[in-house]
């Protein structure tokens, strides 16, 4: 199968909502109704440092029903990173397929070309030190530097999607074969906590509605009609959210009491002595309480959550910091349509990383290099922790589940 264009995108689909469907419709309206779409999707943990609503196989099914053709897993070493690392891993995986010609992503910029121009701006280490030295977060420091360079850039930092869009554009620099395809976001801003019945929903607002009020009509309306019955059934079949919180609190308390700041510094992406602040405040309460106490204007709650999860995942034989530095080491298939199966056949010739359509008991032992083994080990641990927190058990699902197939 040959197509003049194949679109790639990086997503969390937590959950897949009408805005995601709009994005797929938009790219196909631009490049053709039969356009193949490859989605790189976070697995068992999200970029906010949170457990997704549903496991990666259920979210893969939603993505395929919603219009994606092939879903690849974004390793936890990519999903548990800042926007820069998240974008880098996603773009590198799409480039490694050898098929992707366009990268689609959302943004709030009225003039996407302004984002492209800003992505080419370079700032010196001294400029970054000065901006960050004022206690600003990375995003706030980037906004200040850009605005000082050109006041017109200031409007580009009104939404989180623009920050991530900038990182996608920067990650594309080594891959001129992939063209950016920004899709302007309509309706509520990325990260909004309020559902807008007249616009495209925010995933944050949808999750907030579900967690606070259940599967309401407002929540159902934010989902594509074809996905509503399935999502309703999953939601009603799920465990109460407080059960997740109690289990996670116990895991974290044990890890912190049996560990040390030095151990956290050695295995996570912690910096600037933040590990000492975490240890000083570790008796603040559970996971959520500790995040609230540790976070500041400089250190966002998402960053703290990511660090805590990095620590929970790490062990003496597999440290998150080391595995993340290696860059993507494999292409793991989570699901496909008939078109996706054809893409996968083509990737057997074009892919620049090993293809994983299943994990066997000897897969780790036969890993081609340490980076491959460590990343896969962390993905398996992430899924085990997801299941332990949400179900109270571990059943080795990564070894048992096959890719979701929808024909």
Q: Binding site for ATP: which residues?
A: 10-23, 106, 161, 185
What ranges make up the beta strands (E) of 308-402?
331-337, 355-356
Positions of E strands within 203-266: none
Sign of the Cα pseudo-torsion (26, 49, 406, 102, in order):
positive
User: What's the chain's length in residues?
Assistant: 407
Measured CA to CA in angstroms, residue 310 lies from 17, 45, 304, 315, 320 at distances of 28, 10, 10, 10, 6
In the numeric block, which tokens belong to residue 171?
A: 């990650």
Of the candidates 120, 121, 141, 119, the one whose C-alpha atom is nearest the C-alpha of residue 130 is 141
Q: Which helix (H) or strand (E) holds 390?
A: helix 370-391
Going by C-alpha positions, the residue among 345, 357, 338 that lies closest to residue 406 is: 338
Coil, strand or helix: which one is 181?
Answer: strand
Binding residues: 10-23, 106, 161, 185
Burial string for 277-312 (b: 16+ CB within 10 Å, else e) reads: bbbeebeeeebeebbebbbeebbbbbbbbbbbbbbb
SS3 182: strand
Q: 60, 73, 87, 68: which is closest to 25 by C-alpha?
A: 68
CA 15 vs CA 18, 62, 224, 297: distances in Å: 10, 8, 11, 28
In the DSSP assignment, the letter for residue 353 is S
- Pick from 124, 122, 119, 123: nearest CA to 109: 119
């Amino acid at each position: 199968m040959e197509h003049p264009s194949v679109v790639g995108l990086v997503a969390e689909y937590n959950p897949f909502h009408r805005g995601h469907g709009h994005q797929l419709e938009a790219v196909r309206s631009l490049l053709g109704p039969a356009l193949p779409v490859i989605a790189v999707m976070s697995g068992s943990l999200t970029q906010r440092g949170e457990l997704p609503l549903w496991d990666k196989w259920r979210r893969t099914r939603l993505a395929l029903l919603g219009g994606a053709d092939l879903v690849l897993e974004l390793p936890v070493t990519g999903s548990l990173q800042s926007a820069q690392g998240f974008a880098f891993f996603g773009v590198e995986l799409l480039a490694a397929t050898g098929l992707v010609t366009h990268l689609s992503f959302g943004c709030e910029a009225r003039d996407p070309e302004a984002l492209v121009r800003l992505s080419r701006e370079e700032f010196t280490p001294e400029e970054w030190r000065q901006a960050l030295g004022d206690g600003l977060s990375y995003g706030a420091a980037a906004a200040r530097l850009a605005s000082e360079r050109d006041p017109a850039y200031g409007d580009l930092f009104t939404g989180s999607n623009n920050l991530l869009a900038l990182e996608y554009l920067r990650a594309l620099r080594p891959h001129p074969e992939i063209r950016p395809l920004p899709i302007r976001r309509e309706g509520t801003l990325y990260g909004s906590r309020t559902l807008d019945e007249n616009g495209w929903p925010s995933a944050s607002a949808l999750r907030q509605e579900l967690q606070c009020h259940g599967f309401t009509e407002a929540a159902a309306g934010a989902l594509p009609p074809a996905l509503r019955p399935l999502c309703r059934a999953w939601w009603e079949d799920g465990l109460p959210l407080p059960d997740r919180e109690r289990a996670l609190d116990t895991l974290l308390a044990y890890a912190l009491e049996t560990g040390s700041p030095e151990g956290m510094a050695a295995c996570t992406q912690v910096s600037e002595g933040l590990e000492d602040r975490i240890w000083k405040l570790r008796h603040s309460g559970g996971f959520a309480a500790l995040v609230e106490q540790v976070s500041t204007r400089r250190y966002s709650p998402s960053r703290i959550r990511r660090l805590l999860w990095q620590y929970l995942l790490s062990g003496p034989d597999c440290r998150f910091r080391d595995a993340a530095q290696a860059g993507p080491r494999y292409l793991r298939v989570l699901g496909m349509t008939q078109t996706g199966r054809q893409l996968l056949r083509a990737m057997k010739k074009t892919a620049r990383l090993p293809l994983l359509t299943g994990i066997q008991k000897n897969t780790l032992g036969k890993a081609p290099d340490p980076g491959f083994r460590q990343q896969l080990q962390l993905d398996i641990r992430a899924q085990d922790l997801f299941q332990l927190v949400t179900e109270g058990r571990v059943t080795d699902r990564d070894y048992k589940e096959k890719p979701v197939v929808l024909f």
